[in-house]
Amino acid sequence: MIGAASLLEGQGSDGKVALANGMPLDMSRRVAHRRHTYGVQIVSYGLGAAVLLIYAYAGAITILIPSAFFVAGVSLIGLFAVLSETHINDRFEDHYLTVFQVAAHVMVQLGFLLAAPEIGYAFLNVLFLIFGVAALRMTTRQATIAWTLTAAGVAPIFLLTRIPIGLPVATATERLAAALCFVLTIGQCAFVGLYGDSLRKKLYRRGVELGEAYRRIEELAELDELTGSFNRRCIMRMLDDEIRRARRTSSPCSIALIDLDWFKRINDAYGHPTGDEVLRTFAITVFANIRNIDRFGRYGGEEFLLILPDAPDDTGARILDRLRAIIAELDWSAFSPGMRVTISAGVATLQPDETPDTFLARADSALYAAKARGRNRIASA
């Protein structure tokens, strides 16, 4: 009688077969959720049978009704439990088989309504609860199917039979049973409300988590995984933006292409893990010694691009020479005794009507000039 109250209990966001991206959830979690749900359903049928025992004690029904009701409910749940344990459920998109469970529980209620019409409203009462709980996860199509099947079962009872459907309250015991019937149903309706509230809170938390994950994805899409600096695609977009801003405001803009001297030798002599640590340390050092308005990204390999807004050629050269000295003076022996790391850079200042490609080409030419002059130096285009 009360067996469907927890029909879908525990079916939160991880009770669904698939997430928004279509990937299946862990099967063990699904099975655990279903086991928990079936356990609560058995308890619910036990409570319903207890109410029926009170009616039997009052003489309103025979003692066979409570026993048969509990056996029918447990057998029904056992059938779905077998389907769950054999993973037949997992072949379906709705692995809880919601429509089948709704139909089965409705059949139990209507079957016992016909068997004991003198307390028939106690069974009819539960139909509202069944649909209230199932509505938490049924699709429009599933709801239509479940409603049609239920209507096909209920309508003939009222229209084609003259069975007197009642709810006896003549004696104190019968009134107690009736009260318990409604109290349990209302209590389970309250549970549905609490479950809905917890589901809303869970969805809100998931929304916050997804927002944070999306922000993190966007951040990772812009950053170089090894050094934490902007990746090439992002730093090139920033260069385009800065060129447009400089032209709009008639302000200077400089860039520097920076290269770690003899970096291949570092990889060959000390290994790639050490080389990676050198790149990370270099990037951290640059971040710590540039202005807030500057933009720093990995251009490729051991080559980096530094964008210097509002910096004419001489300012850009001074900034880069200061960085060069800081890098050269770092104690690189922490990575390996005797290690020494230096940088070379080519600095260029934006000229009128210059394209990003020619701007970068001039900085690149200056970088090669710095290398040709012996490295560990800055050259201006």
Q: What is the pLDDT of residues 219-254, one digit of tens each?
A: 667 889 899 999 999 999 999 999 999 999 999 999
- Tell me, yes or no, whether 25 and 148 share the same domain: yes
Domain end, chosen from 164, 186, 219, is at: 219
- Tell me, yes or no, whether 179 and 258 share the same domain: no
Which residues have CB under 8 Å from 50's CB, separation 6+? Answer: 66
pLDDT tier at 26, thresholds 50, 70, 90: low
- Tell me, yes or no, whether 256 and 342 share the same domain: yes
Burial (CB count <10 Å: 0-12, 13-18, 19+), residue 135:
middle
Q: Tell me if 316 is assigned to some domain.
A: yes
Domain end, chosen from 196, 219, 242, is at: 219
Question: What amino acid is encoded at 321 in this protein?
Answer: D
In angstroms, the CA 20 to CA 15 distance is: 13
In this predicted structure, what is the pLDDT of residue 27?
76
In this predicted structure, what is the pLDDT of residue 362?
95
- Tell me, yes or no, whether 269 and 212 share the same domain: no
CATH code assigned at 272 = 3.30.70.270
Tokens representing 335? 């990575």
Beta bridge partners of 119: none
Give me the number of domains the chain comprises: 2
Burial (CB count <10 Å: 0-12, 13-18, 19+), residue 329:
exposed
Q: Tell me if 340 is assigned to some domain.
A: yes
In this predicted structure, what is the pLDDT of residue 22?
43
Give percent above pLDDT 70 in the chain: 92
In angstroms, the CA 204 to CA 199 distance is: 8
What pTM was computed for the model? 0.53
- Tell me, yes or no, whether 211 and 346 share the same domain: no
Tokens representing 153? 């079962």
Give the rounded distance of the alpha carbon of 253 from its chain centre: 42
Domain end, chosen from 187, 219, 251, is at: 219
Q: Tell me if 301 is assigned to some domain.
A: yes
Q: Tell me if 62 is assigned to some domain.
A: yes
In this predicted structure, what is the pLDDT of residue 17?
39
- Tell me, yes or no, whether 261 and 134 share the same domain: no
Q: Alpha-carbon torsion 352, 355, 356, 360, what sign?
A: negative
pLDDT digit string (tens) for 66-87?
Answer: 999 999 999 999 999 999 999 8
pLDDT tier at 284, thresholds 50, 70, 90: very high
| 132 against 356, higher pLDDT | 356
Q: For strands 343-349 and 378-380, give the pairing.
A: parallel
Which residues have CB under 8 Å from 85's CB, separation 6+? Answer: 31
Q: Tell me if 1 is assigned to some domain.
A: no
| 10-14, 123-127, 295-299, 331-335: range with highest mean pLDDT | 295-299
Q: Tell me if 352 is assigned to some domain.
A: yes
- Tell me, yes or no, whether 243 and 214 share the same domain: no
**Residue in 276, 266, 244, 268 with CA at minimum distance from that of residue 359:** 244
pLDDT digit string (tens) for 33-70?
Answer: 888 888 888 988 999 999 999 999 999 999 999 999 99
> What is the extent of the structural domain holding 312?
232-380
In this predicted structure, what is the pLDDT of residue 254?
96
Q: Tell me if 226 is assigned to some domain.
A: no
pLDDT digit string (tens) for 164-213?
Answer: 999 888 899 989 988 998 888 888 777 777 767 777 788 888 888 888 88
Is the predicted pLDDT of residue 367 greater than 90, yes or no? Answer: yes
In this predicted structure, what is the pLDDT of residue 70?
95
- Tell me, yes or no, whether 317 and 205 share the same domain: no
DSSP string, 260-279: ETTHHHHHHHH-HHHHHHHH
- Tell me, yes or no, whether 176 and 69 share the same domain: yes
Q: Tell me if 3 is assigned to some domain.
A: no
- Tell me, yes or no, whether 239 and 123 share the same domain: no
In angstroms, the CA 306 to CA 135 distance is: 57
- Tell me, yes or no, whether 36 and 94 share the same domain: yes
- Tell me, yes or no, whether 196 and 238 share the same domain: no
